[in-house]
Structures are given as C-alpha cells and as structure tokens.
C-alpha cells in the first residue's frame, strides 16, 4: 500500500507562507507577539550569562479553513530539548478526567480484550492505565524518557516518534489497532502527514483516530492569546479538522467539547470515507459559523480586546510602581511567557513569579524577561499588595488556595479582560 500524504503536511523549520492545513495563501495576521524566546526553555543562573535565542511569534488566521497558526516553525529538536519540563498528569483531577475518556470510548466503540488501543504521546501512561484496567490491550508511544516511567509502572510503551515507520513496526508486532488516541500533541507536530498516515496504516477497517487538542473557539471567545507559543504550531477549529481529514481516507464522525487547557475539543476520525456522522459535527460547525470563526472581523475584535487588556495591565503596573504598591506574580505556566513578553513586563515591574514548592521551575528565570521563579511561601511571608494570577484560567481555584494559606493580597486577573479581585471577594 502506498502511504503518501500532501507535501504541505510536513512542516519544515523556518518561515511558513501557506496554510499548514489546506495550503491556501489567504492568510491574515491577527497578532504580532514579537520575537520571543521558547516558553519552556527557562534560564538558570548560569545560562543567564549566555545569549538567548528568539524566534518570530505571530498569530495567523487562514481564511479558507479557519485554522489559526504560526508562520514560523522552530525545529522540534530545539523546542523539546532534554530539560523540557515534564508536564505529568498525576493530579487527581486529570486522572479522573482520563478515566472518563477511556470509559466513554470503550462504551462507544465496544472495545473488548481483543482490541488494541494505542496512545501517541502517552507520557507516563496514565490514560492507558484506565483502558488497561477495563481489560483492553494497550500500547503507548512516547518519544521522551518518560516512556521508561510508564514501562516501569506496567504500561507497555515504545520510546519513539510516531510516524509511518513506527506504525508499521507496531502493526507487525501487535496487529491492527481499533483505536489510536492522542491528547495535546496534534497542535504541536511538524509531521502531520506522517502522523495521520501512520494512524491510518495501524488502524483496522472502520477503526477510530481520536484527537484531543485546545479549541480555537474557546481561545477566541476567551481572549486566550497566551495559548499562542512556539510549541502550538496550530490552533484547530472543527472546520480545520474536517479540511485536514478531507485530504485523507478518513471521515470526521464525531466531536465533543471539554474544559481542559482552557477549552478543548475531542475529534473522532473514522478510517474510510462516507462513514456515518454524528449530528454533533453539524451542530458544532453551525456554532463556529454563528460565532464568526469564518470572518476576519472576529479576529480583529479579538486582537483589539487583547490590546486593551494589555494597556490596562501595563498602566496598572506602572501606577503601582509609582505609588509604591508591591505587585508580584503567581504560577508560571508556559503561557505566561507569551503574556509577559508580549506585554513587555520585566522584573522591575513584577519582581518575581511564585510557584508551588514542588515545581521544577523553582530558582529558574522566565525566558525573555528573566523574572525569577520562587517558592510561593514568599507570597505568604511578604504579603504583597497585589498578586497577578498568571495561570488565570484556574484563577478561582488558585486564589482560594492562596487565601486558605493566609495570603491577604488582592488579586489581578489579566485576561480575558483586566480585572482586580479583592481578597474579601474570594
Ligand atoms: Zn487553511
């Protein structure tokens, strides 16, 4: 069988001048976030003495398929360096969430002990472990050393990048898969064609390819420009997914929305054309159209809202500085690098970012602006006048936690619109 894919589904490092999904040249600039350093390449005391590399970071919209994307691709080997922070899924919340995914997929697709489920980007194997508990055969594919952790905890895992070659190897050794799943990887990869055709080759007839990623509509509706960073080469709408899979022997047969990563979608692509489509697909396409994901003015409005929030934030920090009020940051997700670097906030305006005592980011420095990352005990000790919640999509939970620990500061929520929350309101 010839396993080929369109040339534009292999994204080369460097400038990109056509749509990554549909190859159209009808691209529009939504926001220019400047040249930025990689958000997960934190600096140590030592690397602060070295030059720091930056790359263009622009939010671009394709008029034809509505995919939002970057017009510059940093090579995966630079982004996913050996010290790339391990984002594990060991929180109870995530484990519960993954159990729910596996249960509903097992039910919807009648998976039994005869079926093989392959998780691509399987991390420590948390998702697969809930499939395994239900008696389904599982296999993880994970390129990083985390594969070893999964392997040690009894989840069979191949340490490799997923491509056509890896897929062929799996098929030869384990047989065809009934379901291939990937969560939070499909926005990141350069090798879209290898990935889709790898899944195609591995799946049995009518097998399903489950894809979960952050969702364009939630990004735009929620003013979440800070989800734009070099790792996220693309931000998908359902329409963009359909345009992508139209170019392959797959049918998009179902879609669900969820609340992970500040709003996500789970898209089901079934192997073969003309398969039965759940009404949820048509419904969500209609929601996208009514929301205006197909119109340039929607993105212009989004950009204006972002710029207003930025000015208010900067204005607030400068005033606080002038009047001697202390403002510090709390929580350092990848996205806060985009926010603070685009805003141009340095350690004179925001002297530190506090993180949980267990964070691997402690004692490191934010890329670009080099704001130090410190143990959040310091917030309790120093009681600054204001604390900016940089993981603002979890603001409520974080503010409650900090208040319960004895923090008396008021809070700043930077997005989608700049907001001050009094400590007494939490
Ligand atoms: Zn496009």
pLDDT recorded at residue 91 = 65
What SS3 state is found at 323?
A: coil
pLDDT recorded at residue 262 = 80
Long-range contacts of 415-418 (CB under 8 A, 24+ apart): 415/222, 415/223, 415/224, 415/225, 415/226, 415/306, 415/309, 415/339, 416/222, 416/223, 416/224, 416/305, 416/309, 417/223, 417/305, 417/308, 417/309, 417/312, 418/308, 418/309, 418/312, 418/313, 418/316
pLDDT recorded at residue 2 = 66
For residue 252, the CA-to-ligand 1 centroid distance in Å is: 17
For residue 243, the CA-to-ligand 1 centroid distance in Å is: 8
Spell out which residues have Cβ within 5 A of ligand 1, the ion.
19, 21-22, 24, 62, 64-65, 67
Regions of the chain short of the pLDDT cut 70: 1-2, 82-91
pLDDT recorded at residue 286 = 98
For residue 62, the CA-to-ligand 1 centroid distance in Å is: 5
pLDDT, tens only, 200-234: 999 999 999 999 999 999 999 999 999 999 999 99
pLDDT recorded at residue 110 = 95
Cβ atoms < 10 Å from Cβ of 120: 27
pLDDT recorded at residue 403 = 97
For residue 61, the CA-to-ligand 1 centroid distance in Å is: 8
For residue 244, the CA-to-ligand 1 centroid distance in Å is: 9
**In the chain, what are the domains?**
323-425 (3.40.50.720)
């Amino acid at each position: 069988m010839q396993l080929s894919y369109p040339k534009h589904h292999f994204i080369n490092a460097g400038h990109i001048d056509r749509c990554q999904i549909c190859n159209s040249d009808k691209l529009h600039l939504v926001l220019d976030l400047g040249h930025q350093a990689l958000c997960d390449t934190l600096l140590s005391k030592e690397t602060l003495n070295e030059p720091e590399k930056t790359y263009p970071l622009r939010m671009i919209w394709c008029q034809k398929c509505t995919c939002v994307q970057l017009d510059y691709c940093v090579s995966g080997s630079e982004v996913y360096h050996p010290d790339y922070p391990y984002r594990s899924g060991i929180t109870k919340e995530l484990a519960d969430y993954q159990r729910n995914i596996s249960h509903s997929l097992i039910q919807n697709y009648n998976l039994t002990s005869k079926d093989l489920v392959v998780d691509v980007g399987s991390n420590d194997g948390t998702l697969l472990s809930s499939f395994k508990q239900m008696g389904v055969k599982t296999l993880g594919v994970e390129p990083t050393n985390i594969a070893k952790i999964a392997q040690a905890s009894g989840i069979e895992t191949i340490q490799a990048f997923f491509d056509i070659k890896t897929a062929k190897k799996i098929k030869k050794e384990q047989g065809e898969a009934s379901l291939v799943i990937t969560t939070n990887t499909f926005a990141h990869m350069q090798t879209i064609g290898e990935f889709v055709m790898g899944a195609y080759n591995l799946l049995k007839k009518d097998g399903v390819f489950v894809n979960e990623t952050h969702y364009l509509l939630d990004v735009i509706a929620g003013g979440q420009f800070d989800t734009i960073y070099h790792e996220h080469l693309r931000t998908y709408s359902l329409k963009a997914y359909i345009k992508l899979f139209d170019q392959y022997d797959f049918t998009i047969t179902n879609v669900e929305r969820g609340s992970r990563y500040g709003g996500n979608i789970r898209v089901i692509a079934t192997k073969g054309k003309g398969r039965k489509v759940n009404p949820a697909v048509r419904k969500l396409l209609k929601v996208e159209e009514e929301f205006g994901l197909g119109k340039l003015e929607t993105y212009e409005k989004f950009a204006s809202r972002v710029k207003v929030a930025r000015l208010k934030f900067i204005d607030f920090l400068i005033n606080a500085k002038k009047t001697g009020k202390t403002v510090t940051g709390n929580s350092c997700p990848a996205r806060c690098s985009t926010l603070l670097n685009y805003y141009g906030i340095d350690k004179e305006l925001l002297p530190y970012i506090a993180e949980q005592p267990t964070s691997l980011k402690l004692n490191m420095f934010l890329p670009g602006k080099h704001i130090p990352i410190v143990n959040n005990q310091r917030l309790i000790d120093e009681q600054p006048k204001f604390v900016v919640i940089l993981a603002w999509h979890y603001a409520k939970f974080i503010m409650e936690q900090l208040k319960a620990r004895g923090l008396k500061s008021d809070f700043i929520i930077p997005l989608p619109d700049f907001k001050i929350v009094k400590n007494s309101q939490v």
